[in-house]
Amino acid sequence: MNIRRAGIADLATIMEVEVACFDEERYSRDIVLFVLTDEEFATFLAEDGRAVGAVSVHVKGDDAHLVSIGVVPDHRCRGVGSALMGTAEREAVSRGARRMTLQVSILNVPAMNLYLHRGYRTKYLLEGYYGRGKDAFLMERAL
């Protein structure tokens, strides 16, 4: 498995990963395009013969924010998500960030475990963040 920086030429591939990983809450093509072109963001693709995962991070000053992470179903539980998180965190540090924040649905046990194992801690509850009755945790970790 290899992880590399993604660019605008990877838009279709990133969308395929998004579709494989998320239901209705996934980002639109326009948002992914913006993330791939705006300099405050960085996106990375994990490849294993084909694209198997992607992560995007936003960095501004001391603050980094995990925008999105997804691993295609048949490659989960093999360390790809953790490797992508490590890549996003190193990118954030290299741009001067001192902390990373993220939101996660309170029902998303795999993602929450991934973040807890990487040292993220819950700061507070975001009521209705994903829609009515769909709460999220705001998690944070010092980098």
Ligand X SMILES: CC(C)(COP(=O)(O)OP(=O)(O)OC[C@H]1O[C@@H](n2cnc3c(N)ncnc32)[C@H](O)[C@@H]1OP(=O)(O)O)[C@@H](O)C(=O)NCCC(=O)NCCS
Nearer to ligand X, 97 or 104 (CB): 104
Nearer to ligand X, 25 or 39 (CB): 25
List phi, psi (to 5°) of 103.
-115, 145
Nearest approach in angstroms of CB 83 to ligand X is 7
CA dihedral over 107, 142, 87, 45, signed as positive or negative: positive
Nearest approach in angstroms of CB 127 to ligand X is 17
Question: What are the residues binding ligand X (CB under 6 A)?
Answer: 21-22, 69-71, 76-82, 104, 108-111, 113-114, 117
Nearer to ligand X, 71 or 100 (CB): 71
- The amino acid sitting at 70 is G
Q: Which residue is nearest to ligand X (CB)?
A: 81
**CA-to-CA dists, residue 10 to 50, 96, 108, 118, 122, angstroms:** 12, 26, 27, 27, 33
Nearer to ligand X, 33 or 111 (CB): 111
CA angle 104, 105, 111 (to 5 degrees): 55
> Nearest-CA neighbor of 51 among 4, 104, 111, 92?
4
Nearest approach in angstroms of CB 102 to ligand X is 7
Nearest approach in angstroms of CB 79 to ligand X is 4
